[in-house]
Amino acid sequence: MKIVRIIARLNVGGPARHVAWLTAGLRGAGHESVLVAGTVPAGEDDMSYFAAAQGVEPVIIPEMSREISPKDAITVWKLYRLFRRLRPDIVHTHTAKAGTVGRVAGLLYKWLTPSALALRPRACRFVHTYHGHVFHSYYGAAKTRIFLAVERALARLATDRIVVISPQQLAEINGRFGVGRPAQFRIVPLGLDAAVFADSRARRRAARERFGVADDETLLVGIVGRLTEIKNHRLFLEAAALLKGRLAARREAGDGAPPSRVRFVVVGDGHLRLDLETHACALGLAEDVLFTGTLDDPENFYAALDVVALTSLNEGTPLTLIEAMASARAVAATAVGGVVDLLGGVEPSELRRPAAWRVCERGLQVEPGDAEAFSRALEHLADNAGLRAVMGGRGRDFVERHYSKERLVEDVLRLYENLFAAPARGRRAGAAKAARDIGKDIGRAAARVKGD
């Protein structure tokens, strides 16, 4: 097969690693696999080096970026010309912007041919993967409604299969937001090279010294990700300040045996860094929080941490939590998107009490936006070294069983093979109806925006 894979940009994060692994893995399986990407804007770190390490050199379309722009028309045209040259069997898009421009270009490629007059378009299949979604917490209500109308129309008009990365994400995208038909969806969990995270204990001392911690008594709590609004690092800092104050009060009162010291590490970079550093100082955390910037050796920095936190408002399945589990780290995370599936079921004893945070099989689950609850969850982990060890071991076993990159490549290849084995009649019959519906959906959304 010839596969063209499209992503808006290779910025720091799980999707960039995902597409690089898939492109390299499918080539290794004997298929022609091409990766297409846009440019990484100023203020974001570029992960092209990771693709290069996998032997992948992407085709770059400079006009393709994350934000809506008049240049999107140029992107569509360039993708259409690329499809004409490569004649792909599969076009597989990843993330929202690439999903829109890639599928619109795919429609042009598929139907701008003389045989389309007899309802025989070019033989090409379209797959889109949602790594997350923009249907809440990113934009205002009006813009979100337009994006949702476009996604619903593209799902009917220009998508053979929709890939989600967790059951929770399927429930949100198809069930809650009504995108696509259930038969279109396939769940394909993320994958990673779990072997590189083995033996984290052997790397622990050197990794902690890098953060200025030479002892094992200091508890290191880290958060990993882009410094952007959706990751909600402000909540992490506020929870850190509450935890610091509570532990200090306990020491003064002689209540229990809290850790001698807790320090916090923020791994990642982005346009909010100065704002977050200022906020940390305002909270009295200047000596307690280390902002490291982007680090490209997760197998080492996870080894330094005792607890990994995630405070996002919206997520797909965050690679940072999978990497933390692969390193046998305890995790505390907001209950959003595929995080719920990663953490596993709530422990039976926890079900008897209403709580803003709860102990789950592989980590602590916290209600989004609640700094007090998040600080309580971190305190619980700080007080229970045995619980941290048990959860770290469970997480490591879970990742080894379910999240290998070899399994990822096999799952996607099987999806492609099954897609080609499916009959085409139903797809052709629905094309005309979907074409009529797309204008109606977008028109209704635009009318609501005007009313707002």
pLDDT tens, 404-413? Answer: 989 999 999 9
d(CA 61, CA 424): 31
The mean per-residue pLDDT over the stretch 213-235 comes to 93
CATH of 194-402, one of 3.30.365.10, 3.30.710.10, 1.10.260.40, 3.40.50.2000: 3.40.50.2000
200 vs 356, which has greater pLDDT? 356
Give the model's confidence band at 450: pLDDT under 50 very low, under 70 low, under 90 confident, else very high.
very low
Residue 270 pLDDT > 60: yes
Highest-scoring range by mean pLDDT, 245-249, 269-273, 308-312, 439-443: 308-312
Residue 336 pLDDT > 80: yes
pLDDT averaged over the chain?
89
Residue 431 pLDDT > 60: no
pLDDT at res. 327: 95
Which residues in 225-287 belong to E strands, given as ranges? 261-267
66 vs 402, which has greater pLDDT? 402
Give φ, ψ of 379 to 5 degrees: -65, -40
DSSP state of 58: P
- Contact yes or no for 71/65 (Cβ under 8 A): yes
pLDDT at res. 233: 98
pLDDT at res. 279: 98
Give φ, ψ of 424 to 5 degrees: -95, -15
Strand partners, 304: none
Strand partners, 360: 346
> Which residues of the chain does CATH 3.40.50.2000 include?
2-191+405-451, 194-402
- pTM, two decimals, is 0.79
Residue 54 pLDDT > 50: yes
Residue 434 pLDDT > 80: no
Q: If you search the block for the tokens 């009959």, which residue do you land on?
A: 423
Give the model's confidence band at 138: pLDDT under 50 very low, under 70 low, under 90 confident, else very high.
low
Architecture of the structural domain at 2-191+405-451: 3-Layer(aba) Sandwich (3.40)
d(CA 121, CA 110): 5
pLDDT at res. 429: 45
Please give the structure tokens belonging to residue 40. 């990484």
d(CA 330, CA 42): 33
448 vs 147, which has greater pLDDT? 147
The angle that helices 14-28 and 319-326 make with each other, rounded to 10 degrees, is 70
